[in-house]
Structure 1
């Protein structure tokens, strides 16, 4: 089926549709990963976004039951140069096209993804829509410009009821702002007794569980739209060790007086170099975020910068100078790799051990 991608800035890309035969609209972003498309498709942080893959061939190792990062994908659409129809991998159980049909998701292939990526790099992310080939371009552009990106994205992807992933080790409360399953997997591998709670949980509710530590997960959208999170963080700060990832990192920053800003085109991919300042070591990291902490604003807080992105010098991590709390902007659980930063989960375990000895 013939489809086209239309951007709010007027550019039109013609291609072939795949997946469900639906029109879909959202914020168009790009991801530089060569692999990991299944984890990307199922990452709740992509809620409301249409993702362009810069690597030209996508889907060549298929889709399997083990690599999902959520049960229901929140992504709005996928843009690829070429979609593989016949995957070759012993773990493959279906194609991306089959997955998209099952999940009622739309995608488009056969467009110039290099040109699209250059547009996004030069102009910043824009809204776009995948529509039928016969749609009127001017009418679609008017629709896109009036389309409002929802501010309740975290609420829409967070769990509605608490649930447990039992273990015999430290009791960890995971606040689900759109958590990837990889976070639960890493904590479970360290035998943590995990309770996953909704994004609107209060500090009193967390402290009533008497946890050994609290993890604040990744999630989509603007951190300033997550109502109540800053109050919750301030309510547990100093009373229990805290580890934040991605959106959780930004929320800790806001709660401690730092500021955030929207990046021009975001960091999305599995090949982002980050400098660990204390260790003077470079890690290659998995990232997916459109907002960042303003490094200058950290100077007026009790937060100390610990990690810096080498591509654009933006903040990638900090720790609290007084309380047992640290966080990073990237994804130490990887899913997919690289796994350079996996050790941060071990440091979280050590932080809980130290706090318990006091």
Structure 2
């Protein structure tokens, strides 16, 4: 069968495209190249340049490539930007998804995997976040992801589509340096950026109710995340009847910001300037760690990489993109 991967030239999307292609799946990518890099794609994978808001393009792509299933990753994902531009985020993430699902239904596609986020949970006050933890998103980005889940499941039930919604926790690392994250929006590249500029990385608050006072998060290697997409895609492909699955993608292990800062200093060799503690950011929960029991049971998936491997691979990619980082 043939899978359409939307956003497949992006950081996560390119890893998913490579894992699926390497596993023998036929893959075609749709990407507007606003953040994607065509050179990330494996040789032989077709790239359609465009947006999921373009219904005519979607119809041509689904028919022309005889698509049987969709892995939908294309979305806007900066939390702060979503607060400043909620209308833009709802248009891109919700209306775009709706347009894609309309095209999917019209084309008779019966498998759909949706890229969701742990942002749907908001500030859960639990040791481990399960899929039954109440969803109370705190920003428009999280709202669009939760709305997207509702829309995917409703369309699946109404039109006989097997669906899977994957709630990512904190994604990091790279399968190879050239596939590294080029953005500076997540904590690991933000720390690399500060160290490259000779500035102290920032720790936002050290007075949380955690062992070292800093926030605890669950970090998952992007290669493991890509493997989870392949497992979910094959699960939907094997289903004879429509059904839905919603799972967390995390390790079940928490790492504090202080522990991460110390590890980054060790791996990069940049102990100076040391990380600097500043005031808390509004809305940061003390601890957000996934329960990975359901995905293990349903998909047979378990994370294989630890946080050291994430930081080491991310640093290799950062240095490829920023050669000055090594010489500093």
TM-score range, shorter chain: 0.3 to 0.5
Q: Which has the higher helix share?
A: 2
Higher relative contact order (CA 8 A, sep 6+): 2
Q: Which has the higher strand share?
A: 1
